[in-house]
């Protein structure tokens, strides 16, 4: 009789600070015989794997790193797809499927929460095209925006306030109108767009309501309570900006942020 297929766990490991990994994430990573971790470039290391290693001993496990080419491809949208990206994802999915077919559980650690701009769902969409009825569990994680909000004592939303999350790497064309309608705007993937972002914030009169956190909870954490000071700097990819109207009145002053 064939062995039943293994189970795939998409595991949010939090924003990098090992203390911000949930008990469930640690348990799933400890129990899984295979850890398949995403990385954004073929030569670089996996941040998710580094975060997982801080809490979980990987001795005796099969650990593989999967390269996910990142580009504007959305597997659940009706749009022209980039063949090279799809091939990269298919390779990653085939590697995972090989372990599942051997009856081995696979844990896929991902930074923050799997539902927020994570490769976890690229993997899931690709796998579900290859195989029906896979056994999958999603383990939620603490998101980077939650960690940044906590570090700065800034609430993301109170009462009827609107919170908007913007992946800034995809462009800042609509940012002015987003800022106008939202009470709090969280900007992720800001590192390559910082100068343009600050320009829009200046024009919107909100530059003093913004705070930027680089490597929140990690060695080399940097907090900019004056985001203008970050202009022209080479920021780490793990950089998030929170723009909260009236933000300085609501928390930022009580913790005395330090500027990069
Ligand atoms: C691909 S997204 C992953 C988001 C993640 N799934 C989450 O739930 O937060 C990567 C972005 O998350 C943010 N990020 C992740 N870790 C961070 C950290 N330790 N400090 C600041 N921002 C972080 C940055 O905006 C980064 O560009």
Q: Which of 237, 9, 225, 236 is nearest to 137 (CA)?
A: 9
CB of residue 56 inside a 6 A radius of ligand 1: no
The rounded Å distance from CA 84 to ligand 1 centre is: 25
How much is the average pLDDT of 145-156? Answer: 96
As given in the structure block, the two tokens for residue 250 are: 């609501």
Percentage of the chain modeled with pLDDT above 70:
89
CB 125 within 8 A of CB 152: no
* Region of 84 on the Ramachandran plot (φ > 0 left; ψ -120 to 50 alpha; else beta): alpha
Tens-place pLDDT, residues 29-80? 999 999 999 987 777 789 999 999 999 999 999 999 998 776 656 666 655 6
Domains and their CATH numbers in the chain? 8-139 (3.40.1010.10), 144-255 (3.30.950.10)
- DSSP conformation class of 64: E
Task: State the greatest distance between any 2 C-alpha atoms of the chain, in Å, as a whole number.
Answer: 68
pLDDT of residue 248: 55
Instruction: Give every CB contact of residue 159 below 8 A, 6+ residues apart in sequence.
Output: none
Tens-place pLDDT, residues 162-216? 999 999 988 888 999 999 999 999 999 999 999 999 999 999 999 999 999 999 9
pLDDT of residue 253: 47
CA-nearest residue, atom 23 of ligand 1: 238
Better-scored residue on pLDDT, 157 or 89? 157
CA-nearest residue, atom 13 of ligand 1: 238
How much is the average pLDDT of 245-257? Answer: 55
The rounded Å distance from CA 111 to ligand 1 centre is: 7
CB 10 within 8 A of CB 123: yes
Ligand 1: nearest atom to the Cα of 215: 20
Q: Which of 56, 64, 47, 52 is nearest to 99 (CA)?
A: 64
As given in the structure block, the two tokens for residue 114 are: 């799997």
Q: Using DSSP bridges, classify how beta strands 163-167 and 184-188 pair: parallel, antiparallel or unpaired.
A: parallel
Mean residue pLDDT of the chain comes to: 90
Q: Which of 171, 190, 54, 166 is nearest to 116 (CA)?
A: 166
């Amino acid at each position: 009789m064939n062995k039943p297929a293994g189970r795939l766990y998409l595991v949010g490991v939090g924003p990098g600070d090992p203390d911000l990994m949930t008990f469930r994430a640690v348990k799933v990573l400890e129990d899984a015989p295979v850890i398949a971790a995403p990385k954004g470039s073929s030569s670089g290391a996996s941040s998710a794997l580094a975060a997982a290693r801080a809490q979980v001993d990987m001795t005796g496990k099969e650990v593989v790193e999967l390269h996910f080419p990142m580009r504007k491809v959305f597997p659940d949208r009706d749009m022209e797809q980039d063949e090279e990206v799809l091939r990269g994802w298919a390779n990653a999915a085939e590697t995972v499927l090989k372990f599942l077919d051997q009856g081995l559980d696979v844990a896929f650690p991902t930074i923050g929460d799997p539902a927020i701009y994570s490769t976890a769902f690229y993997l899931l969409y690709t796998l579900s095209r290859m195989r029906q009825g896979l056994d999958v569990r999603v383990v939620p994680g603490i998101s980077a925006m939650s960690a940044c909000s906590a570090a700065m004592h800034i609430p993301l939303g109170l009462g009827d306030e609107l919170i908007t999350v913007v992946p800034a790497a995809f462009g800042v064309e609509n940012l002015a109108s987003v800022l106008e309608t939202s009470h709090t705007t969280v900007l992720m993937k800001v590192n390559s767009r910082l100068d343009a972002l600050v320009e829009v914030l200046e024009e919107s009169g909100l530059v003093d309501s913004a705070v930027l956190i680089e490597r929140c909870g990690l060695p080399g954490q940097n907090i900019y309570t004056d985001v203008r000071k970050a202009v022209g700097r080479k920021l780490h990819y793990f950089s998030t900006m929170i723009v909260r109207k009236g933000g300085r009145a609501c928390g930022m002053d009580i913790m005395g942020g330090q500027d990069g």
